A and B are shown apart, each in its own frame.
Chain A
Amino acid sequence: AQKVTQAQTEISVVEKEDVTLDCVYETRDTTYYLFWYKQPPSGELVFLIRRNSFDEQNEISGRYSWNFQKSTSSFNFTITASQVVDSAVYFCALRGGAGNMLTFGGGTRLMVKP
């Protein structure tokens, strides 16, 4: 069985602060993929990033960066200089196992205040 845990249910920051969203996962697979999705108030889940289990290089995309550490089974997401438009619920997800199911964590609600 696979499992994704996002311990932070809600985070509130002031605009321009940096914020890190934590994600810890469990799986027996040796090959798997990790994802982050953003869910704005409109409700549609928007893909942000995908990372395979063999690639531990950190990735940066504009104000977003991701830190994958296989040794601690973590795939954390950092937003630098947060903006009000970053306010949303963010989900970490793991794809693997029988049928290559995509399993989501419980999500972290990020509120960025002006």
Chain B
Amino acid sequence: EAGVAQSPRYKIIEKRQSVAFWCNPISGHATLYWYQQILGQGPKLLIQFQNNGVVDDSQLPKDRFSAERLKGVDSTLKIQPAKLEDSAVYLCASSLEQAKSEKLFFGSGTQLSVL
């Protein structure tokens, strides 16, 4: 069974540039998550989708971050313009449903360096 796919694996940009990350969840998984993991910290939820609807985006810096999951399958996370403090690993995860018991399956992440 294919896992959660993310690309690119690494990205280096200068501050004020734009960047986009792509995620393809496990087939059949209705819930998709984007997490930000700053070096030395635990992952922090940015946004959670159920199919193509947003369940929670309370921690998404909406002035610069946006995410979409138009057809309820793959998703894109965008940062525009990037700041130095956005340097982190961006993890995508998916689960069958959004019930409390559901475990999340994670991709390998995109490591972003903002110079």
A contact residues vs B (CB 8 Å cutoff): 4, 6, 9, 31-33, 35, 37, 42-47, 50, 52, 91, 93, 95-96, 98-107
B interface residues, tally (CB under 8 Å): 26
- CB closest residue in chain B, given A42: B108
- B105 near A103 with CB under 8 A, answer no
B contact residues vs A (CB 8 Å cutoff): 33, 40-45, 48, 55-56, 89, 91, 93, 98-109, 111
Q: How far is the CB of B52 from chain A (nearest CB, A)?
A: 16
- A99 near B106 with CB under 8 A, answer no
- B104 near A107 with CB under 8 A, answer no
Number of interchain pairs (Cβ within 8 Å): 64
Among B42, B48, B93, B100, the residue within 8 A (CB) of A96 is B100
- A47 near B56 with CB under 8 A, answer no
- B91 near A45 with CB under 8 A, answer yes
- A33 near B109 with CB under 8 A, answer no
Q: How far is the CB of B30 from chain A (nearest CB, A)?
A: 13
- A43 near B100 with CB under 8 A, answer no
A52 to B103 Cα, complex, angstroms? 12
Instruction: Return 15 A-B CB contacts under 8 Å, by A number.
Output: A33-B101, A43-B89, A43-B109, A43-B111, A45-B43, A45-B93, A46-B106, A47-B103, A95-B100, A99-B56, A101-B56, A102-B33, A102-B45, A107-B40, A107-B42
